[in-house]
Amino acid sequence: VVLYDGNQKDRAHLATAPKSTELTFSDSEGKTRFAAAMPGDGNGDISLIIAGPNGNKLFATESYGDRAGQFFYDASGKMRLGLGLEREGRSSVRLYDRQNQPSRLALQIETDDRPNLVFLNKAGVMRQALGLEPDASPFIVMASQVGGQPVTIDLSRDDKEEPRILLQSRDGHRRF
């Protein structure tokens, strides 16, 4: 189905096929400003995209199985912020750099409701994390460039209830 404006320009499209249904709206210049898509069986990914006057994405809502997210883009169409429900029900806020590199900073709420703040390098590898252990005691992890965890400051309660500093070699062996 195609809908036209008073100038006979197509402004809306509704398309159905055995594997998907799509709805799009275009501005007077023919640029798609709104798009929604859903698989034909209703069991797969669903997406909703809103674009700015230049046609670049400004906002998107997407779902992937049991995960869902909302994403915000800058004027050049690069993703800068993501709010999401990730695997196993973990919620997160992710910030992206100007080059649209993988998430550089993530605030996550673990499935057991513990908050974590994670800093990542340009390759998306965790370099530092701040958070809470299951007993609500705080920890700081500083990782190597390749993602190992050589230094952990952990205030977990042990028999003496004293803070610990744990050093690990690249192969994961503890060094004190």
Convert the pLDDT of each residue in 27-50 to its tens digit.
Answer: 888 888 899 988 766 666 788 899
pLDDT at 145 over 80: no
Alpha-carbon Rg for the chain, nearest whole angstrom, is 23
The mean of the pLDDT values for the chain is: 81
Phi, psi of 78 (to 5 degrees): -90, 135
Question: Would you give the DSSP letter of residue 88?
Answer: G
pLDDT of residue 67: 81
- For 75-121, the pLDDT digits (tens) are 888 889 999 988 777 888 988 888 777 677 888 888 888 899 998 88
User: Measured on CA atoms in the order 106, 61, 42, 55, is the torsion positive or negative?
Assistant: negative
Decide which of 138 and 18 is more confident. Answer: 138
Question: Would you give the DSSP letter of residue 103?
Answer: -
What is the mean predicted confidence (pLDDT) over 130-137?
Answer: 85
CA 49 to chain CA mean position, Å: 16
Q: What is the pTM of this model?
A: 0.70
pLDDT at 176 over 60: no
Residue 59 pLDDT grade (very low, low, confident, very high; cuts 50, 70, 90): very high
pLDDT of residue 163: 67
Q: Which amino acid is at 174?
A: R
Q: Taking a C-beta distance cutoff of 8 angstroms, is the pair 103, 82 a contact?
A: yes
User: 8: which 2 tokens?
Assistant: 């006979």
Q: Taking a C-beta distance cutoff of 8 angstroms, is the pair 40, 19 a contact?
A: yes
Decide which of 29 and 66 is more confident. Answer: 29
User: 169: which 2 tokens?
Assistant: 């070699």
Those residues with Cβ within 8 angstroms of residue 139's Cβ, 6 or more apart along the chain or in another chain: 129, 130, 131, 132, 133, 152, 153, 154, 155, 156
